[in-house]
Amino acid sequence: MRISESFIPTMKEIPSEAQIPSHQLMLRAGMIRKLASGVYTFLPLGYRVLKNVEQVIREEMNAAGAQELLLPTLHPRELWEETGRWGLYGDEMLKVTDRNKREFGLGPTHEEVITDLVRREVRSYRQLPVILYQFQTKFRDEIRPRFGVMRGREFIMKDCYSFDRDEKGLEINYQKMVQAYKNIFTRCGFKFKVVQADSGNIGGSLSHEFMVLADTGEEALYYCEACDHCQKAKEEDDNSQAGREKLSCPKCNKEMTYTRVIEVGHTFNLGTKYSAAMKATFLDEKGEAQPFIMGCYGIGVSRIVAASIEQSHDANGIIWPLSIAPFKVMLLPLDVSNEQVKVTAEKLHQDLQAQGVTVLLDDRDERAGVKFKDADLLGIPIKVIISTRNMAENKIEIKLRSKNDAIKVDLPETLSKIMAMVKA
């Protein structure tokens, strides 16, 4: 893709409304634009990252035996009344009334809807286990939306639900999902921790949170570098050294490390909380009705995009990992009036696309400083610099966004070198 044909409305100044790096950089890099409080449009560059995150998640969920579907956003009041949550969920649930005076909620979560589907379709233990997931827009009327897409009123989630005949089956599938989540966050390039957590409004007896380490995180935890034990920090602990208590690991007695974190995933063992309330049952070997044993597994897809920036950026802009970057390669011809520079850039553009590599060509007639500044802001992992001076030596310069040093490569070897970096 060429920048001249792209819709990437970058901004030079830091928007006054943006308080944390991800919000600032997503606005400045032309990834999002605000429509209303807590409601954002994903522009083409941001949407590419969002879809790349989805694809990483999809591959790992499919590999773990889950099947993708799409559930409705509009939820009838009657379903939520079966579990008692229509009233209990509170003002966070956005509610609408149709022309026939029927009440619906805009789904903040989908336990009732998925349970209703499975109770209608799964009759026998022979049909179990079932693991279903979706990517869906969620709506929660946050009291104080903030930090861009980190905490909005409308956001993208991947939610998954497992249905088993007994606790043993649930435990097997729960551990599969925990491992899938570890794979996902590793592939997304995160430094993260897994901590046993409270189930909150979702309910259930076992819960794990997946926390990305970031200085701007709204929560805090202590972790042990020796045995990897983690535990939530008390609310009174703050980000200053003086305000933190020193903790010893309860498992190995080593001193624990304090860090701020961003929650990006949560897994729950729901047991029969929803199946019992909604009379969702299957017939066992004896022909007796038994409630499904359920698990629930959520990932904040749009939050992952912001969390990645929070964990990986510098003073110049975003530093994307290859796995979720909007483009893997950015071509920077520094003098497009030079025919050799232009032809070389065009050929590399075509060759990389032919190899299935996503590439952004900065074909603008702009100063080198402008191109370098925009390239750093957008954070594309591999920068390929094509200049008149390097052409005189029959070389190309390649620089990783995450590194300070550039390397020079002989022109005939450029494509193979870039491909090796992309596949690394």
The DSSP call for residue 123 is: -
Task: Please state, in angstroms and rounded to a whole number, the distance separating the CA atoms of residues 31 and 42.
Answer: 6
Say what percent of the chain tops pLDDT 70.
96
For residue 242, give every residue at least 6 positions away whose Cβ sits within 8 Å of its Cβ, in sequence order, or none.
none
Q: Is the pLDDT of residue 239 over 90?
A: no
Average pLDDT over residues 310-335: 97
Helix (H) / strand (E) containing 120? helix 111-121
Cα distances (Å, whole numbers) of residue 68 to 58, 95, 138, 162, 178: 8, 27, 17, 12, 18
Mean pLDDT of the chain: 94
Average pLDDT over residues 1-9: 96
Average pLDDT over residues 333-338: 92
- Reduced to 3 states, what is the DSSP secondary structure of residue 302? helix
Using one digit for the tens of pLDDT, what is the confidence trace for 269-310?
999 999 999 999 999 999 999 999 999 999 999 999 999 999
Using one digit for the tens of pLDDT, what is the confidence trace for 137-170?
999 999 889 999 999 999 999 999 999 999 999 9
Average pLDDT over residues 133-139: 97
Helix (H) / strand (E) containing 318? strand 317-318
Whether a cis peptide bond, with omega within 30° of 0, leads into 108 is no
355 CA to centre of own chain:
26
Q: What is the pLDDT of residue 222?
A: 94
Task: Please state, in angstroms and rounded to a whole number, the distance separating the CA atoms of residues 411 and 32.
Answer: 37
Q: Is the pLDDT of residue 92 over 80?
A: yes
- Reduced to 3 states, what is the DSSP secondary structure of residue 57? helix
The DSSP call for residue 135 is: E
For the chain, domains (ranges, CATH) are 3-314 (3.30.930.10), 329-423 (3.40.50.800)
b/e code 237-247 from CB counts within 10 Å (16+ = b):
beeeeeebeeb
pTM of the model: 0.94
Average pLDDT over residues 201-230: 85
* Residue 55, amino acid: Q
Say what percent of the chain tops pLDDT 90.
90
Task: Please state, in angstroms and rounded to a whole number, the distance separating the CA atoms of residues 189 and 398.
Answer: 21
Q: Is the pLDDT of residue 420 over 70?
A: yes
Q: Is the pLDDT of residue 199 over 90?
A: no
Q: What is the pLDDT of residue 228?
A: 87
pLDDT category of residue 238 using cuts at 50, 70 and 90: low
Q: Is the pLDDT of residue 205 over 90?
A: no
pLDDT category of residue 241 using cuts at 50, 70 and 90: low
Q: What is the pLDDT of residue 202?
A: 47
Task: Please state, in angstroms and rounded to a whole number, the distance separating the CA atoms of residues 110 and 80.
Answer: 10
SS3 content of the chain, % helix, strand, coil (to 5): 35, 30, 35
Average pLDDT over residues 16-24: 94
Q: Which long-range contacts (CB under 8 A, 24 or more apart) does 52-59 make?
A: 52/323, 52/324, 52/325, 52/326, 53/188, 53/301, 53/304, 53/305, 53/324, 54/135, 54/158, 54/301, 56/184, 56/187, 56/188, 56/323, 56/324, 57/135, 57/158, 57/184, 57/299, 57/301, 58/135
Find out whether 318 and 377 touch, Cβ atoms under 8 Å.
yes
The DSSP call for residue 124 is: B
For residue 423, give every residue at least 6 positions away whose Cβ sits within 8 Å of its Cβ, in sequence order, or none.
none
pLDDT category of residue 31 using cuts at 50, 70 and 90: very high
